[in-house]
Structure 1
């Protein structure tokens, strides 16, 4: 759809501009505070990035819904809704680690139709329009063809309340470690999903996520030929994604 292509082009332009400024500011001092725990951070640049993107959206699409991490939802009359994480991987960004991104998903009548994940420090932009495939820096990507669990590299993460709630992913880590080739914990759900889409990782799971963490990445995985399940739970979303050869096997190990 031409309209979706135009919206993606604008989102890419805005994400690139925001990302360039994130890179510039990453070299200097930065205000930050904790939200729910010592490692659940928000920096002044999270707030700046969110405000910048919201202002851009409102200037072009004033009637669109906007859902973001750091502020209240903005309601509109349009069937379109933008779901934004202004910096996914804030701890990485604040510590100078390169694995962070801007994540923008766009829903139409409740269905995700556009996904964009821009990683400024990595110089990587992942994108997808529903039904048109997934791309990294303009080149089409597909999930891996790894079919044996002992050869697989699987990504995961830990919830911010891991010290207070026994449902902290350790049970599944202990089940998974003996069976897989390797486990990676990168610190950005959106980019983890993109690594599955690009065939760099063979699967990924995580607990207690929010829709802004995964909205764009899930579409990118699916458009790259992968499978994914999103399961709403009491404390956020459970996410599992993988190539089609491993998906059911991982589901059996992580039985929620």
Structure 2
């Protein structure tokens, strides 16, 4: 039997609150909506103004969902630059807390990302790895419009959210599993846009005669130089509206 509210406290209460909020947040929605709903739950439970969730694929974050257009955009900035708290958390497998992107150590660690994130209205980023002690499969990225740290309870809740989000995402049906007609598979459907990045990378490899890493770097450099996201540039390359060998 579940303990009464007045019998639960501290970390037990955090876990129960998170589980209840997640269950309520995803009730009645299809697989394709779950990542964004989980981001909404994170914003409800934590002192943040936005959240996004991404899986890592070949060193690039593939965004599955976000709580707002701002959160989605800042995640795409990190994908375009190949740099930022999200990338650092994915590489290290540990939480990365950028508590003040306006000045000091955090602004110096990711100077270009910090400038672009603050221009978009984000002043702090907390990136939580998804996965386990040995494998990081992605990140839960939390955004705030004012500088500041997470206290110990808030950090614990953020870790709990990341752990529960990992379980929830991995439990969703995959592309090869049968489903109802018209039911979009969660990963193949949500990450479809990022297929354009890989397709565009292959086209750039052929155009420039370079390896995969160099082709992706060229795509990112073009996007950064023109104030666009890597995903936007990839769409143009795939649609034959842009050739990087003509830059």
TM-score normalised by length of structure 1 = 0.26
Q: Larger helix proportion, structure 1 or 2?
A: 2
Q: Larger strand proportion, structure 1 or 2?
A: 1
